[in-house]
Amino acid sequence: MSLQKMFDVRGKSVIVTGAASGIGRAYAEVMSENGARVCLLDLDRKGLDKTVSELKAAGGDAWGLTVDVTDRAAMSAAFAEVVSRHGRLDVVFANAGIDAGPGFLDPLGQRNAEGQIDNLDDHHWDKVIATNLTSVFNTIKLAAREMKQTGGGRIIATSSIAASYNEPIVGTPYMPAKAGVSHLARQAAMELGRYNILVNTIAPGPFITNIAGGRMANPEDRKAFTDWSVLGRVAETSDIKGVALLLASPASSYMTGSEIVIDGGVLLRPMKEAVMSTRIRRRSDRVNSNINMEETRDQSSFLEFQLAIHPAYRPEGRGRRRGNRCHAMGRKCTGEHHQDRLCQSDDRPTRPIR
């Protein structure tokens, strides 16, 4: 199969929810740019009209419907209209979602009263779950109903790295909502495989979008995520287009129940050299003086705090001395290379302290 045929989506009937801006717009763009017929769904009428106009001006076959994804009847009517107009439904991007507000810590590691679980508004919780999880369930349900009639299709749900890694600076409802999306997609993939309906998820890290009013425009928020990226930057929405095209095209014909992480290495949590030194000093202080962890949270930045307590962040070649054996070197230790019960060795990586 030629490369062109492998990624061919020409003529495909596509629905993208939350398509007026951000990642949803990127999905709509890459599908339209490659010849698909795309219906954009969004609650933002002004943004939707602007995006559709720009896609059409670029030569794309695109149109939009103003829909609230939490309105089951409206979504059902939208799907019916797309099938009536396109004759079938081939690809659905279940992407719409909202921000969950601030977490229980701010980017500088200070406690945030609004984000603490005992202060969370019940209506806010319900709204985030309804938009970020329940609407995805309904989108998958409607897509499966149509795709079963025509021999299969592709469903791509937008999850998040928050599905597998908890973030204190992100609103609490966001994590369980996105974890639910990932697990729901795998469950649907297991059920729908026999109908040739492939269900996969994309798990983005920090992207520059309009969610939360453009949160990444906040220097503190942006710096927190930039510092965690192996690539040293926050993603542009164009960075997700290749993955979207892969999952919508024949190139992924044997992929279902998969999740593709696109986060610039954020989950690896790299350390800056200066912060690493701070972390080593803090660990040494904690070992020797057993300082209170609440004080550590209050006195250090959030990034430094994570580095101070997370055993996975220990630099290579450093560990604790245990008896007459060096934990880092894994052999009898003379003690010559130790400083304050921390051992340093360049030839062997350390193992996590149990």
pLDDT in tens, 204-222: 987 766 654 455 666 666 6
Integer Cα distance of 244 and 242 in angstroms: 5
pTM for the structure as a whole: 0.75
Amino acid at 223: K
Is residue 195 among the annotated active site residues? no
Give the list of residues 6+ apart from residue 253 with CB closer than 8 angstroms, or none.
198
For residue 186, the model assigns a pLDDT of 98
Of 317 and 256, the one with more pLDDT: 256
pLDDT in tens, 240-287: 999 999 999 999 999 999 999 998 887 887 545 434 444 444 555 555
**Using an 8 Å Cβ cutoff, are 319 and 341 in contact?**
no
Within 10 Å of residue 221's Cβ, how many Cβ atoms?
20
Q: What is the mean pLDDT of residues 189-204?
A: 97
Q: Specify the CATH class of 3-268 in words.
A: alpha beta
Work out the percent of the chain whose per-residue pLDDT is above 90.
57
Long-range contact pairs involving 229-233 (C-beta distance under 8 Å, separation at least 24): 229/205, 229/263, 229/264, 229/265, 229/266, 229/270, 230/264, 230/265, 230/266, 230/268, 230/270, 231/264, 231/265, 233/264
For residue 235, the model assigns a pLDDT of 76
Q: Taking all residues of the chain, what is their mean pLDDT, rounded to a whole number?
A: 81
Integer Cα distance of 317 and 319 in angstroms: 7
Per domain, the residue ranges of the chain are 3-268, 273-344
Nearest to 249 by CA among 5, 27, 1, 13: 5
The SS3 call for residue 170 is strand
Does residue 327 have a pLDDT over 50?
no
pLDDT in tens, 48-104: 999 999 999 999 999 999 999 999 999 999 999 999 999 999 999 999 999 898 899
Q: Which of 27, 165, 174, 195 is catalytic?
A: 174
